[in-house]
Amino acid sequence: MIDISSTPWQTMVAHAEATYPNECCGVMLGSIDGDSKSVTIATPLENVSAGSQTARYQLRPEDLLHADREARRLKLDLIGIYHSHPDCDAYFSETDLKNSCPWYSFVVLSVQNGKFHHANSWLPNAEQTASEKEELIWPKS
Amino acid sequence: MAKVLIPTPLRQYVDKKDVVEASGASVAEVLTGVVTAHPSLKKQIYSDEGKLRSFVNVYVNDEDIRYLDKEKTAVTDADTLSIVPSIAGGR
């Protein structure tokens, strides 16, 4: 289960809507207790995918390195990655799966007509052949 | 010994440590030392063919080894290695 607090959730939704019709991406920091993950900080990162970004995103590895260092400095954990799907559902696509990493939660935000619509969290396997839906809790108000 | 920073989800394979140390004169030697000491970590970062998984990047301090000498990159006891995934996607 991954529970996202109000402040990081607002950051993620605002980022996804501001980036529309392109895909956005970023990292989520927080704490982990067994299978229970609590996100307290969301940090938008640059989508460095070459070409059109309406259906693609790519994170710069150096940005992930710096995010991990920031998490260590704050005594937090790098829990997961978020990105948006403009004008489509929050599924974990073949492209997402083939370019994923099994270590993190992947939260996908569906943005439809420029507004947040719904979200899901996914856990890809080590072989990048399948992903499992993870319970996602976000502030509904 | 060189330090290797362990990402949170992989700490379960290294006795819950966030950093481990291993001897070696190259990235390959240091990582081999780490997975020898912590065998359950091996499947996470190496494929069945014994190569680093496609999504695994390794940094020596601030440098990506892809732009140095890859896994032959020299390492000293003063160096810190980081394991950083490649992540991308799209609808």
- Tens digits of per-residue pLDDT, A94-109? 999 999 988 899 999 9
- Tens digits of per-residue pLDDT, A46-91? 999 998 999 999 999 999 999 999 999 999 999 999 999 999 999 9
Contact assessment for residue A47 and residue A106, using Cβ atoms and an 8 Å cutoff? no
CATH assignment at residue B42: 3.10.20.30
The verdict on residue B67 lying in a domain is yes
C-beta atoms of A57 and B88 within 8 A: yes
Question: Which run of H or of E encompasses A56?
Answer: none
> Apex CA B32: angle with CA B30 and CA B34, to 5°?
70
- What are the structure tokens assigned to B90, written together? 């799209």
ipTM score assigned to the predicted complex: 0.90
Cβ–Cβ contact B57 with A under 8 A? yes
Query: What is the layout of strands, in order, in the sheet containing B2-5?
Result: B19-22, B2-5, B80-85, B56-60, B63-64
Q: Based on the structure, what is the number of domains in chain B?
A: 1
Q: Left, alpha or beta for A109 (phi > 0: left; psi -120 to 50: alpha)?
A: beta
Cβ–Cβ contact A4 with B under 8 A? no
Residue B21 is part of which domain span? 2-85
The verdict on residue B91 lying in a domain is no
Contact assessment for residue B58 and residue B84, using Cβ atoms and an 8 Å cutoff? yes
CATH superfamily of domain region A2-137? Cytidine Deaminase, domain 2 (3.40.140.10)
* Interface probe with A: pick from B5, B6, B8, most Cβ of A within 10 Å: B8
